[in-house]
Structure 1
């Protein structure tokens, strides 16, 4: 069945295109690659590295016309030299940050957040952000935004003061306390690991960190594995702590490496394994907010 010619009397009519049931559904998009990013991490953590951003962009691999780690999410390492300031204004509706190294202050929307290693921040989009390294040493942040989602529709970020999230700070000490509380609780038979879910006052109803992104610190006891499962949300994972740990993604083994970033493509069956002597911790950002809203998360166990 061919494409019938378009009969057009105006320029607007000439732009019309028609497809049919024979050719409208044969579009094949490149798959999102499973990946572990070491080069960006190594560059950001190098002693001689300068202040700047180190994106994990694999957009070319899946045919995307703008920087992206997965189709809806972009991850970066941000390095701020000792005593220096890094100013950003990402075209996103919100930002997730994890402090890998160093101490610093972040100024956004009239507030200042002082942070150190292990702290987590969620910041509103549409705002100018200033990260300053304090304490006489360089600082490194792991940063995730939904810039690709806005770029796909050529949307602008929210106007200053109009974002759906406020600045939120989760100190490392409080995160550790919350994990200890979780570890002491009995596990349910169908529980998908022991995870601390980050949310906020304005997003608590959806349990998300920001409307489109979910954020969780997953933990895995020594000698244990998280049951193989799948979901339609793509996952970007920061390996916070885990000796002898690895993930199996669609039958492929990816070993963990400290503060490396891994990508689990949407819908691929995956499991996580701890072969080390200590509790493993890994921070995961997913584009789950989109899928929860659309009722398309599709979570299911594969074992």
Structure 2
């Protein structure tokens, strides 16, 4: 009797072809819409995660929802809270090219290689990643901390060259520059009142590192920042705000340019929350007092790739 020959794939396919797959275009071209890759979730992280207790780094970890190895707050970034009690120190050495800190409260010292930085409330610090950094506190301190280790983990690479040196943005100077922006007669005609932290090593992107983008902004009393979107993830931190401040986030706009079926995120001092890439979002201050916020994004990388695509309604 004649029988059809069926090859034994285990033995008949060369080893270098064993992992190869082939997909018809329409079934693979948009893995997000096909639910093959998870969307970045909305999520908020309250100040209670770090306002007391022992010295520690608290990763804002969404890796389970993202379907990736953690810790990670987005596909390429990890946001963290740091609690550092007076007289204590923490060693930081992620496999990262870029690290940005904002000092929520306290003061202390940071040493990385031959560089030493004294920091205090309101300072921003940008660090490369090749060398370990030692963070010590002379007062009880809290910091917001973002780095790009998840990006390097996904690429399967390790840091090899620092693209910039440790850089301090002192609180007094950052506050002065922000107030100058707020007092500009044209400020009310702009989409937002803020400053972007830059580094002279990255003149094309005008960002705080080659990967990270950091904004220091004011949401004036009684104001609205109209809906906008961009392809970078936003890791937002609320420095201070009165009651009545919130964000609306959603995937679509209606005919009037407002966000359809939005998710509302109510602000509180010390809150961090995730705004997914590509989602429309708008910020509201319904009080009679200013609010202050810091979005940190991977927009340095997205801008360099010519993929940021920021839009306003």
Query: What TM-score comes out, normalization by structure 1 length?
Result: 0.90
Distance in 2 (alpha carbons) for counterparts of 1:50 and 1:42? 13
Match of 1:279 among 290, 293, 300: 290
Counterpart residue number, 1:103: 107
- List gaps (5 residues or longer) in structure 1: none
Matched, 1:33 2:33: no
- Structure 1 residue aligned with 2:275: 264
In the TM superposition, what whole-angstrom CA distance separates every residue of 1:177-235 from its partner, at most 9, and x where no partner exists? 10111112133787320111001121233211111111111211100011111111110
Cα distance in 2, alignment partners of residues 218 and 26 from structure 1: 35
Alpha-carbon distance in 2 for matches of 1:23, 1:253:
34
Which structure has the larger Rg?
A: 2
- Pick closer, same or farther for the CA change 1:181–1:111 going to 2, 3 Å: same
Q: How does 1:284-303 map to 2 (within 5 A)?
A: 284-302=295-313
How much does 1:26 deviate?
5.7
Is the 2:218–2:293 contact (alpha carbons within 8 Å) kept by the matching residues of 1?
Answer: yes
RMSD: 1.8
> In the alignment, what sits opposite 1:71?
75
Structure 2 CA distance, aligned partners of 1:186 and 1:301? Answer: 22
Note if 1:156 corresponds to 2:158.
yes
Structure 1 counterpart of 2:207:
208
In the alignment, what sits opposite 2:264?
253
* Residues 18-50 of structure 1: per-residue CA shift (max 9 Å, x gap): 222253336322211112111xx313211xx11
Aligned residues: 289
Q: CA deviation at 1:108?
A: 0.9
Q: Quick one: distance in 2 between partners of 1:147 and 1:253?
A: 29
Residue pairs, 1:24-173, within 5 angstroms: 24-25=28-29, 27=31, 28=35, 29-38=37-46, 41-46=47-52, 49-134=53-138, 137-158=139-160, 162-173=161-172
Q: Is the CA contact (8 Å cut-off) linking 1:194 and 1:220 kept in structure 2? A: yes
Report the CA distance between 1:277 and its aligned residue.
Answer: 2.1
- Inter-partner Cα distance in structure 2 for 1:172 and 1:76: 20
Gaps of 5+ in 2: 1-7, 251-261
Q: 1:201 to 1:108 in 2, by over 3 A?
A: same
TM-score by length of 2: 0.87
Per the TM alignment, residue 77 of structure 1 is displaced from its structure 2 partner at its CA by: 0.8
